A = this chain, B = another copy of it.
Amino acid sequence: MTKAKVIVQSDDFDAAAEIRQLTEGKYDTGAVVTFTGLCRSEGDSLTALELEHYPGMAEAEIQRTSDEAIKRWPIDAMTVIHRFGVIQPGEQIVLVIATSRHRDAAFDGARYVMDFLKTNAPFWKKEHRTDGQAGDWVDAKESDEAAKKRWQ
């Protein structure tokens, strides 16, 4: 069984290069689904998000989630990259790529990983505000907890 490629890093990533790595020479892959999560400015109120993470467990938890996706659907290959550190509006935070013979497995696999990553991978976002005030830690959303339920 394929293992997902999982990276947790502070540097930005090149989604196109990662897709090429998963598809080059794979002539039986017909579908590539890519999710990219970007930092929002929340109506220009934020200068950045600061992402704290739990080194070791962050990688392990993403690996568990993506390997579970590979077990559940006929996925050819998967890459997940999650950044930490200070990230500015418009910058990339997270990348999930799932490739498969057909589109359904690629769509399901990528979405499953995002749904579980949101609530299970140990990352926390703190806001840096444009008005100079001390930023808050972003609250977890109930909708993210609910999103996991669709996979039961």
Contacts and interface: CB of A to CB of B under 8 A. Distances in A.
A59 B18 CA distance: 30
Contacts of A41: 27-28
17 contacts: A16-B16, A23-B38, A25-B90, A26-B90, A27-B44, A28-B43, A29-B38, A30-B39, A30-B40, A31-B36, A32-B35, A32-B37, A33-B110, A34-B36, A35-B106, A103-B114, A107-B114
Chain A, interface SS category: mixed
Interface of A: 15-16, 19, 23-44, 89-90, 101, 103-104, 106-107, 110-111, 114, 147
Contacts of A147: 104
